[in-house]
Amino acid sequence: MTLSRRGVLGMAGALGALGALGGAAAGPAAADGRVRTGFERLAADGYAELAGQRVGVVTNPTGITADARHLVDVLHADERVDLVAVFGPEHGFRGTAQAGGSEAAGRDPATGLPVYDTYGRSGQQLADVFTAAGVDTVVFDIQDVGARFYTYIWTLYDCMRAAALARKAVVVLDRPNPVGGRRAAGPVLERAYASFVGREPVALAHGMTAGELALLFNGEFLKGAGPRLRVVPVSGWRRGSFFGETGLPWLPPSPNMPTPDTALAYAGTCLFEGTNLSEGRGTTTPFEVVGAEGVDRRWAEAANALGLPG
């Protein structure tokens, strides 16, 4: 199915209000006004959604509680949850690999759980990984940054397709979009250019949370080929807020995403990767600086003269 640009951009607003795709994108605000992630809400409900299931978790260092404990450690220690496997995305479960890489499969030294590598796998190949791991339910909990070409949302997409093939359920534990969720912006992907940095026609800055995207994927793009899906929404999140206003701890989702400010710049300055300019990878301010040998103040003056907002 191909959606028009207007249709895809409008989807962000529809999901924010509570779209017709199967559930709320944001839960009710807590009495204390605090933002609570999907994992916190799952825990508060006694993990009822996972009862009687052999569980595997797709996550990385960002899958943490408000007091910075990792959900794998929390779930492994709780006798109400049968956690049997961990699945790592790009950069790996522990986040040690650079862009375009992942960590080798093995065992988590902290819990002894088997860790499987999902990066570069999709379709039946990934379905076979889920089957080999012996899971009934695949739980996804990774902090996204709001840009279409950030690969974690497509790991989610691939996991959803694979889970359907393997007859596994998917539970998405939602987190805020760190750059806000009031609007979508930028070009919508053309299907001819689909890849792991964009599987479906989604706006460059999509304005959605991972949970909202999961609902979009299942409702619009995977019709008839999607898994049994449950999204545990984030609560207390205001769509117009940035990550620094949530009160949640920030852990870098990838090696070159050190702060929420990086996420604000990323959707624009990552485009410089298509040129011979450096966007600051390897510095302390990646995606907040752009330059190259031979670029001098005249280039900055010309860029500033454009009067671009930001």
pLDDT at 57 over 50: yes
How large is the average pLDDT for residues 299-307? 92
Domain membership of residue 104 (yes or no) is yes
Q: Tell me how far apart the alpha carbons of residues 194 and 183 are, in angstroms, rounded to a whole number.
A: 23
Q: Which two tokens stand for residue 204?
A: 């460059």
How large is the average pLDDT for residues 177-191? 96
Q: What is the pLDDT of residue 264?
A: 94
Q: Tell me how far apart the alpha carbons of residues 29 and 178 are, in angstroms, rounded to a whole number.
A: 18
For the entire predicted model, the pTM comes to 0.89
Q: Which one-letter DSSP state was computed for residue 227? A: P
- How many residues belong to the chain? 310
Q: What is the pLDDT of residue 29?
A: 62
Q: What is the pLDDT of residue 28?
A: 64
3-class state of residue 171 by DSSP:
strand
pLDDT at 191 over 90: yes
pLDDT at 230 over 80: yes
146: pLDDT confidence band, cut at 50, 70 and 90?
very high
pLDDT at 3 over 70: no
How large is the average pLDDT for residues 213-226? 96
Domain membership of residue 98 (yes or no) is yes
pLDDT at 4 over 70: no
Q: What is the pLDDT of residue 83?
A: 99
User: What mean pLDDT is reported for the chain?
Assistant: 90
CATH code of the domain in which 236 resides: 3.40.50.12170
Domain membership of residue 289 (yes or no) is no
Domain membership of residue 29 (yes or no) is yes
Q: What is the pLDDT of residue 23?
A: 40
pLDDT at 221 over 80: yes
How large is the average pLDDT for residues 38-50? 98
Q: Which domain holds residue 154?
A: 5-248
18: pLDDT confidence band, cut at 50, 70 and 90?
very low
How large is the average pLDDT for residues 175-200? 96
Q: What is the pLDDT of residue 22?
A: 37
pLDDT at 10 over 50: no
pLDDT at 45 over 60: yes
Number of domains in the chain: 1
25: pLDDT confidence band, cut at 50, 70 and 90?
low
Domain membership of residue 31 (yes or no) is yes
Domain membership of residue 293 (yes or no) is no
Domain membership of residue 274 (yes or no) is no
How large is the average pLDDT for residues 72-99? 91
Q: Tell me how far apart the alpha carbons of residues 207 and 188 are, in angstroms, rounded to a whole number.
A: 12
98: pLDDT confidence band, cut at 50, 70 and 90?
confident
Cβ neighbour number for residue 158 with a 10 Å cutoff: 24
Domain membership of residue 66 (yes or no) is yes
The answer to whether the beta carbons of residues 115 and 101 sit under 8 Å apart is no
pLDDT at 20 over 80: no
User: Which of 4-13, 15-24, 97-106, 221-230 is predicted least confidently?
Assistant: 15-24
pLDDT at 224 over 60: yes
As beta bridge partners, residue 56 has 85, 138
Q: Tell me how far apart the alpha carbons of residues 179 and 208 are, in angstroms, rounded to a whole number.
A: 10
The residue among 63, 90, 87, 86 whose CA lies nearest residue 197 is: 90
